[in-house]
Amino acid sequence: MARREPSLFARLIVLISLVLTLGAAALTTAAWYYAREAANEAYDRLLVGAAYQMAEAVNVQGGVLTVELPVSAFELLALSERDRIFYKIVDTRGRTLTGYGDLATPESEAPALGGPDVQDGKFKGTAVRMARTARHFSDPSVRGRVDVVVAQTTEARTTLARELTLRAVALIMVMSALALGGAVFAIRYALRPIGRVGTALLDRDPHDVTPVSVSTPRELRPFVSATNEFITRLRSRMDLMQQFIADAAHQIRTPLTALKAQLELLSRQAMDPQGRQHLCRVQERVDQLSRLANQLLSHAMVNHRAGAVPFESVDVVEVVRRAIREAVPDTLDRDIVTALELPPLPVEVEGDAISLKEAVKNVIDNAVRHGAATQLTLRVREQPRMVEIEVEDDGPGIPPELWSQVTERFGSSSSAGSGLGLSIAADVLSAHGGGLGFQNRAGGSFAVIMRLPNEMRQNR
């Protein structure tokens, strides 16, 4: 037994989910990164603006560096409502003019240029964003650079970044859900032809060895054509086998005919009663053998025709007439009254006339050989959707517990029969979409009923 493989659907969904999850994770990380950048950029402008305003407020008055910090600089920073503000102004000699003396002056790459420099930092254990700008004085009394450092805690930035990220994540989630839903739908849609091919193969008649003709997507064509190739090979082998059986049966019949003629000649000569008894047995066995050969031929023919010969309109009444004509000569050794109860008009079904005739012949033959004591009745009845051919005899019939067995090949174990007759009939009827039934009638008679659908005809 092969290891149970996960279904295609499961494989695809797992793979797609994996890709989507990884993608969502990557996108979320990117969104967080970009949101932080955006938040920093937005709030850095406030920080730099405040630093500029503070730098602007530094003046030299009477040879002394003075600073009067504008309220507006703090109002600007207060726009990020919850953030704490730290600042310091360092004079030309490196002393803190005002503000938080313990605030570190961030190292700037190119302080001489005096452009604003914003970076992350720490103050009193709190993460802050620090801006630094410088102002250069060339006053006679004050000469040099004055540094302005403004720092702000990062609550507003973090809040904004988180909000932006959450929104992006919501979008990513919606998109992923849509993609997954779409994938489920698409996979189901794409896998549907496989089920269709499977159903088409399952629904086929067991005797149908014609190629599969379901339309399939390109990807499934190798599979279907391989199946068809297999069917073709199977069919040619079956044909060969049938051919072989037919040939063999035919070959056996010729020596059998000669054997029968010799036995005929032999029976005319005088011989002791024991010898005659032996001869009689030999004659019986030869008859049995020749009947088996005939039935094998019939079986091979019927099987060959099934599925290979197109059905056409067949008059059941005519089929029954021919069958009785061909079957009766075999029954002449006993005195059996044969009655025909046939409708006056033709009863037509779709089918293969030769196979049907073989079926009816075999049923009659079976009845004559194993059943009918004195009476054989053939009826053709039209039922709704159904045509019934009934062969009734007054013989012992078949016990109901054997009914299911007798339609199998060599299923009847009686010494006189080959066990092929009823199976041939059953094969033919099932190839026509019908079936073989048995019935014990009141008065001790037994009926074999062959049912044929005539639905197609009625529909037309």
Partner 1 sequence: MKNRGTLLHHGIAGLCLLWSLIMVMASKVHAEEPKTFPALLPEQEALSVHAATDLLAMEPLIRGFQNLYPNTRVEFVEYVTNDLYAAAAEACQGGQALGDVFLSSSVDQLVKLANDGCARDIRSPETVTAPPWANWRNEVFGFTFEPVVFVYNRGKLPAEDVPSTHLELADLLRLRPEAYRGRVGTYDIRQSGIGYLLAFNDSQQTTTTYGRLLESLGRSQAVVRCCTSEILDELEAGRILIGYNMLASYAYARVRAGADLGIVMPADYTLVLSRGAMVPSRARNADAAARFVSYLLSARGQEVAQREGFFFGFGGETPPGIEGASSIIQTGVARPITISPALLAVQDDERRRRFIADWSRSLVEMSPE
Tell me which residues touch partner 1 (CB under 8 A): 66-71, 73-75, 77-78, 81-86, 89, 97-99, 124, 126
| Shortest Å, Cβ 145 to partner 1 | 18
Q: Which residues contact 164 (CB under 8 A, 6 or more apart)?
A: 31, 34, 35, 38, 39
| Shortest Å, Cβ 46 to partner 1 | 12
| Shortest Å, Cβ 192 to partner 1 | 58
Kindly state the DSSP code that residue 448 receives in the 8-state scheme.
Answer: E
| Shortest Å, Cβ 170 to partner 1 | 26
Is the Cβ of residue 37 or residue 75 nearer to partner 1 in the bound state?
75
Residue type, 182: G
Q: For the packed helices 316-327 and 353-366, what is the interaxial angle rounded to 10 degrees?
A: 50
| Shortest Å, Cβ 39 to partner 1 | 18
Laid out side by side, the sheet with 446-453 consists of 337-341, 375-383, 386-393, 446-453, 435-440
Is the Cβ of residue 28 or residue 159 nearer to partner 1 in the bound state?
159
Q: Which residues contact 305 (CB under 8 A, 6 or more apart)?
A: 352, 354, 355
Distances (CA, A) of 11 to 8, 14, 173: 5, 5, 22
CA neighbor of 300 nearest in space, from 240, 259, 344: 240
| Shortest Å, Cβ 24 to partner 1 | 33
Q: For the packed helices 421-431 and 273-305, what is the interaxial angle rounded to 10 degrees?
A: 10
H or E element, residue 33: helix 8-56
Q: Which residues contact 231 (CB under 8 A, 6 or more apart)?
A: 209, 210, 211, 212
Laid out side by side, the sheet with 96-99 consists of 96-99, 85-90, 143-153, 126-138, 117-123
Is the Cβ of residue 86 or residue 446 nearer to partner 1 in the bound state?
86
| Shortest Å, Cβ 163 to partner 1 | 18
* Residue linked to tokens 């053939």: 378
| Shortest Å, Cβ 133 to partner 1 | 17
Is the Cβ of residue 97 or residue 398 nearer to partner 1 in the bound state?
97
* Residue linked to tokens 């403004």: 150
| Shortest Å, Cβ 180 to partner 1 | 39
Is the Cβ of residue 126 or residue 141 nearer to partner 1 in the bound state?
126
Kindly state the DSSP code that residue 212 receives in the 8-state scheme.
Answer: P
Is the Cβ of residue 7 or residue 66 nearer to partner 1 in the bound state?
66
3-class state of residue 294 by DSSP: helix
Is the Cβ of residue 78 or residue 168 nearer to partner 1 in the bound state?
78
Is the Cβ of residue 84 or residue 196 nearer to partner 1 in the bound state?
84
Kindly state the DSSP code that residue 328 receives in the 8-state scheme.
Answer: G
CA-based radius of gyration for the chain: 51
N-to-C CA span, the chain: 48
Is the Cβ of residue 97 or residue 224 nearer to partner 1 in the bound state?
97
| Shortest Å, Cβ 80 to partner 1 | 9
| Shortest Å, Cβ 26 to partner 1 | 35
Is the Cβ of residue 85 or residue 356 nearer to partner 1 in the bound state?
85
**DSSP string computed for 388-447:** EEEEEESS----GGGHHHHTSTT----SS--S-HHHHHHHHHHHTT-EEEEEEPTTS-EE
Is the Cβ of residue 101 or residue 217 nearer to partner 1 in the bound state?
101
